[in-house]
Amino acid sequence: MIQIETVTRTYGQKVAVDRLTLHVPPGEVFAFLGPNGAGKTTTIKMMVGLLKPSKGLIRIDGCDVVGQSLEAKQVVGYVPDEPYLYDKLTGREFLRFVAQMYDMASKSVDAAIEKQVEQFELHEFIDRLAESYSHGMRQRITFASALLHHPKLLIVDEPMVGLDPRSARRVKEIFSTYARQGNTVFMSTHTLAIAEEIAGRIGVIDHGRILFLGSVAELRRRLSLGGSSLEDLFLALTEENSITLNSAGPQSPSVVPIPPTQQNSDSSADEIRADSQP
Amino acid sequence: MSTIVSAYPHDGPAAERQFGISANQVGGLLWNLRFQVALRMLQQALASARLRTSLVLLLSIVFWVVMFVLFQEGFSLILGTIDDPGTLAHTFHAIFNLFFLSLFAMLTVSTAIVLYSTAYRSDEVRYLLTTPAHPRRILLYKYQESTLFSGWGFFLLGSPILMAYGSVVAAPWYYFALLLPFMLAFVLIPSGLGTLACMVVVRYLPTLRYHTWAIVAFGGIVCLAVFSWSLVNGVHGTEVLTPEWFQASLARLRYTQQELFPSYWLSTGLLEAAHPAEVGSQSSIQVALGMLNVLAANAMMMYLLVGWCAQRLFTTGYSELARLSSSTIRQSSGRMESIVHRLAFPLPLPMRLLLIKDIRGFLRDATQWSQFVIFFSLLAFYFLNVRRFQFGSALPQWIVTVGTMNVAVVGLILATFTTRFIFPMISLEGRRFWILGTLPIDRGWVLWSKFLFSCGISLVPCSLLIALSDIMLQIHTQWPIIAVVHQIECAALCCGLSALAVGLGARLPNLRETSPSKIAAGFGGTLNLVLSTGFILAIVLISSVPVYFWVHEQTARSLPSRWLHQVIDATGLGSLTAVVVGAILVAVLGAITTIVPMRTGVRSFRRL
């Protein structure tokens, strides 16, 4: 579903994403982890067409996100970290607008909206102006709008920000169910517990480069930290990378090689390619 | 494997047709959405802010009527003064061409600026770009929106002038019917040019964009200055505002009448429509419709050109612009900080730190300081030229009146600046209130620091400008006390206008809005501008009336009416004491206008 091939994105001199290669098959919940400024949001913005890669290629459902951007966007539902709604529209009007934008058949629009209203429990505020919504309400409407056209790929940047525990639980259930139906969920998050709970695989990125790709169990094996929580594993991995980067001196940090333990292990590039087979 | 992005084919119309919603459907959807939002806003305004809506409507109507009457009088004066029909036609042609060419330039620049914020910096576009809406269609939608934003001023200014002209020359009905199509077709061309310029700058010069705008603005000022200088000074041996000077100036304006300029097509078309006379073998209506066709064809071509360029430049430029977000600011040497600490040493440390924060924001926001520099440079240029309008035979009172008017102009420019930049500061600060609200400082200090910031950056340039005006008018040598009065007026204006903007900004904050221009355009900003204008008028009238009569007494010229003599004798207006009292009253009014809004604002800000 997602094919990211040696993608690099620079901001002036800074390399935000450095030769990133990542394949995510259909039917998987994938969690993208990393410290602040690691390159997670930049990767997501390239996937949804907001930024163009400086080098490399991204395909969504076989469509190049630069050359066939509209086709790619048609199969994607995106929930940004800062949801945007039109303040002077009600939630229902906004959902209707989104449905029309995705060219949904007019007969099915009302039913699709009602389904999302049920799913995210929007009854109380769906017909109020968005300007009166709390952050959590906005987030729920944005989730509803992203799922309205039943996309093959759901991309979520920080899914749990602003959600109450009940809504967060609901979202986790939806992610799992959605993936079981053969769709893909790609989420970037700092909430490691969610990643541990529902993600089939995780990817840890730091300084624009993938440090680890695989399941949490594989990460435990890799770091020889059996029984540790994902939080411990994450911290161990990113600290190890920081030490490697610091010891590399004043050269460009983006070109510092990944430690051999990560580069040549069973979860490296070969495994990534193998994973791309559904 | 590594693929260079520039090798990709551009998103083409084929992509629009092959998949999902069509481009035309997207356009319809977006406009339907805009209409829905506008309707909702209107409903809300009518339901919850009737006073504000009525005030805005009333002020717009008053402005329109005043413009209409002024230009009706002006056109009547020209008609009554110039007898020769050829010269008369030439004069109107020159006036229309110059007016529309100036508006053409202003519309181009304003659309470019508006488009930058609405297409490249807006949350809406960031959202729309993630949907299957084609980027070309999104840009065209923003082009239309920017045209609407920047074009409303053109309609508000142009319609009373053109209506006034039509009424003065008793134009036929079709002149009035053609006004709207002409204006619509015209406005699309400069706004298209501005859109293209904006896209090219963002795509190819993203890192230079502020500098580019600054260079363009500076170049514009230099061109305008050279042009004005040549206009005023180019006719040697002739006094300004004489018939000879007027004729020579008309000749010098010929370059505005190039047949390739859209302003020429608009002027010619409308002037022909207003005069139903035969022009060679063609009737004037045929000429007018021909010009309208030329304008409309070019407007449509501009629309296509914008779409064609948007397809190639928009998303790439949008993506390139993101590079800037990570640019680091060079650590300042601390010179500015040390100057502020030294100059403001009696103030508590938190206030000085707040001042430094605001000054830093001002210096890093090119839209603020560039507008400040442009307006004040233009004023300085005008003041430098003011002596060229020779006053040899003029009454001394008129020289003093010109000096007073110059003070008022400085005040009005300052009022627009405080409304646009100082008034929204509190609203924007309110959004980040968790920072200041949780600090162990008195909230009143926040407001007072903003007041000092506004006063600090306005007092020196305003004072220098007014001094320049007085020097060029030789007021400082002939009546030094008037120069002192002008400086007192300047201080009162800077303090009062700053306090009004800060105080009202705190009293009527708009914490939902993130755009300072929208905050300034709201009710609070409008009220601030209206009150500021009233305050400027009060200050200028209080000081200028005694000054005027004192100068009259000094020069022993006769007054036009007997009752004025009686008023002067009864009130003692012609004395030096009256001038001093006027200056004291100005200072008192300035102090009241500083303290009252600030206290009100501080009270409101503490309750936030």
Query: Tens of pLDDT along B129-174?
Result: 999 888 899 999 999 988 888 788 888 888 999 999 999 988 888 8
- Using an 8 Å Cβ cutoff, are A234 and A242 in contact? no
**Confidence class of residue B77 from pLDDT cuts 50, 70 and 90?**
confident
pLDDT at A251 over 60: no
Residue B594 and residue B600: Cα distance in Å, rounded?
10
Residue B161 and residue B529: Cα distance in Å, rounded?
24
Residue-wise over A134-167: b if at least 16 C-beta within 10 A, else e? eeebbbbbbbbbbbbbbbbbbbbbbbbbbbeeeb
User: What mean pLDDT is predicted for residues B563-584?
Assistant: 79
Q: How far does CA A232 lie from the centroid of its chain?
A: 22
Distance from CA of A78 to the nearest CA of B (A): 7
CB atoms A56 and B3 under 8 Å: yes
Return the CA Rg of chain B.
27
Identify the H or E element spanning B527.
helix B523-555
**Confidence class of residue B351 from pLDDT cuts 50, 70 and 90?**
confident
Residue B326 and residue A13: Cα distance in Å, rounded?
9
Weakest mean pLDDT among A147-161, B47-61, B162-176: B47-61
CB pairs A-B closer than 8 Å: 120
A104 touches B at CB < 8 Å = no
Closest CA to B249 of B91, B415, B114: B91
**pLDDT, greater one: B198 or B59:** B198
Which residues are CB-contacts of B451 (< 8 A; sequence separation ≥ 6)?
B498, B499, B502, B594, B598
Residue B119 and residue B202: Cα distance in Å, rounded?
11
DSSP A170-225: HHHHHHHHHHHTT-EEEEE-S-HHHHHHH-SEEEEEETTEEEEEE-HHHHHHHHT-
Taking contacts as CB-CB distances below 8 angstroms, the residues of chain A near B129 are 49-50
Closest CA to B347 of B463, B442, B487: B442
Range ranked top by mean pLDDT from B168-172, B247-251, B387-391: B168-172
Amino acid at A87: D
A81 touches B at CB < 8 Å = no
Residue B546 and residue B510: Cα distance in Å, rounded?
41
pLDDT at A249 over 60: no
Give the torsion sign (CA, B510, B512, B514, B519).
negative
Taking contacts as CB-CB distances below 8 angstroms, the residues of chain B near A73 are 130-132
**Is residue A78 classed as helix, strand or coil in its secondary structure?**
strand
pLDDT at A93 over 50: yes
Range ranked top by mean pLDDT from A14-28, B232-246, B508-522: A14-28
A53 touches B at CB < 8 Å = yes
**Confidence class of residue A218 from pLDDT cuts 50, 70 and 90?**
confident
pLDDT of residue B207: 62
A84 touches B at CB < 8 Å = yes
- Using an 8 Å Cβ cutoff, are A115 and A67 in contact? no
**pLDDT, greater one: B114 or B499:** B499
Among A21, A54, A69, the residue to mutate for chain B (most B Cβ within 10 A) = A69
pLDDT at A267 over 70: no
CB atoms B15 and A102 under 8 Å: no
Weakest mean pLDDT among B34-43, B261-270, B511-520: B511-520
**B80 φ, ψ to 5°?**
-75, -20
Among B8, B130, B314, the residue to mutate for chain A (most A Cβ within 10 A) = B130
Distance from CA of B221 to the nearest CA of A (A): 32
**Confidence class of residue A278 from pLDDT cuts 50, 70 and 90?**
very low
pLDDT of residue A234: 76
Taking contacts as CB-CB distances below 8 angstroms, the residues of chain A near B15 are 68-71
CB atoms B20 and A76 under 8 Å: no
**Confidence class of residue A228 from pLDDT cuts 50, 70 and 90?**
low
Taking contacts as CB-CB distances below 8 angstroms, the residues of chain A near B127 are 80, 84
- Using an 8 Å Cβ cutoff, are A156 and A186 in contact? yes
Residue B581 and residue A29: Cα distance in Å, rounded?
80
User: What mean pLDDT is predicted for residues A28-53?
Assistant: 90
pLDDT at A223 over 50: yes
**Confidence class of residue A241 from pLDDT cuts 50, 70 and 90?**
low
Percent of chain B, pLDDT > 70? 80
Weakest mean pLDDT among B24-38, B229-243, B533-547: B229-243
CB atoms A102 and B21 under 8 Å: yes
**pLDDT, greater one: B219 or B309:** B309
**pLDDT, greater one: B566 or A166:** A166
pLDDT of residue B532: 93
Identify the H or E element spanning B218.
helix B209-233
Q: How far does CA B510 lie from the centroid of its chain?
A: 22
Which residues are CB-contacts of A82 (< 8 A; sequence separation ≥ 6)?
B123
A78 touches B at CB < 8 Å = yes
pLDDT at A262 over 50: no
Closest CA to A44 of A199, A175, A158, A195: A158
**pLDDT, greater one: B435 or A6:** A6
pLDDT of residue B325: 53
Which residues are CB-contacts of A267 (< 8 A; sequence separation ≥ 6)?
A212, A213, A214, A218, A222
Weakest mean pLDDT among A79-83, A214-218, B432-436: B432-436
Percent of chain B as helix, strand, coil, to the nearest 5: 85, 0, 15
pLDDT of residue A271: 34
Residue B504 and residue B419: Cα distance in Å, rounded?
10
Residue B574 and residue B554: Cα distance in Å, rounded?
9
CB atoms A68 and B15 under 8 Å: yes
Integer CA distances (angstroms), B441 to B349, B432, B438, B445, B507, in order: 10, 15, 8, 7, 20
Give the torsion sign (CA, B5, B8, B13, B17).
negative
**Confidence class of residue A123 from pLDDT cuts 50, 70 and 90?**
very high
Q: What's the mean per-residue pLDDT of chain B? A: 81
Range ranked top by mean pLDDT from A214-218, B119-123, B563-567: B119-123
- Of A11, A80, A86, which is closest to B322 when you measure between CB atoms? A11
**Alpha helix stretches (DSSP H) within A30-134:** 40-47, 69-74, 91-101, 106-119
pLDDT of residue B394: 56
Q: Which two tokens stand for residue B59?
A: 């002020």
- Using an 8 Å Cβ cutoff, are B213 and B134 in contact? no
User: What mean pLDDT is predicted for residues B259-270?
Assistant: 90
Distance from CA of B32 to the nearest CA of A (A): 9
pLDDT digits (tens, 9 = 90+) for B23-42: 778 888 898 998 998 898 88
pLDDT at A95 over 60: yes
pLDDT at A232 over 90: no
pLDDT of residue A260: 37
Put residue B14 in one of left, alpha, beta given phi > 0 → left and psi -120 to 50 → alpha: alpha
Q: What's the mean per-residue pLDDT of chain A? A: 82
User: What mean pLDDT is predicted for residues B432-458?
Assistant: 82
**pLDDT, greater one: B212 or A62:** A62
**Confidence class of residue B425 from pLDDT cuts 50, 70 and 90?**
confident
pLDDT at B83 over 80: no
pLDDT digits (tens, 9 = 90+) for B587-605: 999 999 999 999 999 998 8
CB atoms B19 and A71 under 8 Å: yes
Which residues are CB-contacts of A141 (< 8 A; sequence separation ≥ 6)?
A83, A85, A91, A94, A95, A120, A122, A126, A130, A133
Residue B290 and residue B177: Cα distance in Å, rounded?
15
Range ranked top by mean pLDDT from A229-243, B39-53, B348-362, B420-434: B348-362
pLDDT at B284 over 50: yes
**pLDDT, greater one: B18 or A74:** A74
Taking contacts as CB-CB distances below 8 angstroms, the residues of chain A near B33 are 86, 89, 97
Angle of helix B396-417 relative to helix B443-472, nearest 10 degrees, comes to 150
CB atoms A101 and B41 under 8 Å: no
Closest CA to B143 of B100, B196, B214, B71: B196
A269 touches B at CB < 8 Å = no
Residue-wise over B165-192: b if at least 16 C-beta within 10 A, else e? bbebbebbeebeebbeebbebbbbbbbb
Percent of chain B, pLDDT > 90? 26
Among B8, B136, B207, the residue to mutate for chain A (most A Cβ within 10 A) = B8
Taking contacts as CB-CB distances below 8 angstroms, the residues of chain A near B37 are 86, 88-89
pLDDT of residue A263: 37
Taking contacts as CB-CB distances below 8 angstroms, the residues of chain A near B125 are none
pLDDT digits (tens, 9 = 90+) for B550-560: 887 777 655 55
pLDDT of residue B249: 66
Distance from CA of A58 to the nearest CA of B (A): 10
CA of A51: which chain B residue's CA is closest? Answer: B319
pLDDT of residue A193: 80
Taking contacts as CB-CB distances below 8 angstroms, the residues of chain A near B29 are 97, 100-101
Distance from CA of A217 to the nearest CA of B (A): 30
Distance from CA of B219 to the nearest CA of A (A): 29
pLDDT of residue B127: 92
Place of tokens 């009172």: B397
pLDDT at B377 over 70: yes
Other beta carbons within 10 Å of B422: 30
**Confidence class of residue B7 from pLDDT cuts 50, 70 and 90?**
very low
Which chain A residues in 117-176 lie under 8 Å from chain B, judged by CB atoms? 129, 131
pLDDT of residue A255: 33
Beta bridge partners of A210: A205
CA of A85: which chain B residue's CA is closest? Answer: B124
CB atoms A80 and B130 under 8 Å: yes
Q: Which two tokens stand for residue B96?
A: 């229309």
- Of A19, A51, A70, which is closest to B132 when you measure between CB atoms? A70
What pTM, to 2 d.p., does this model score?
A: 0.73
Residue B413 and residue B405: Cα distance in Å, rounded?
12
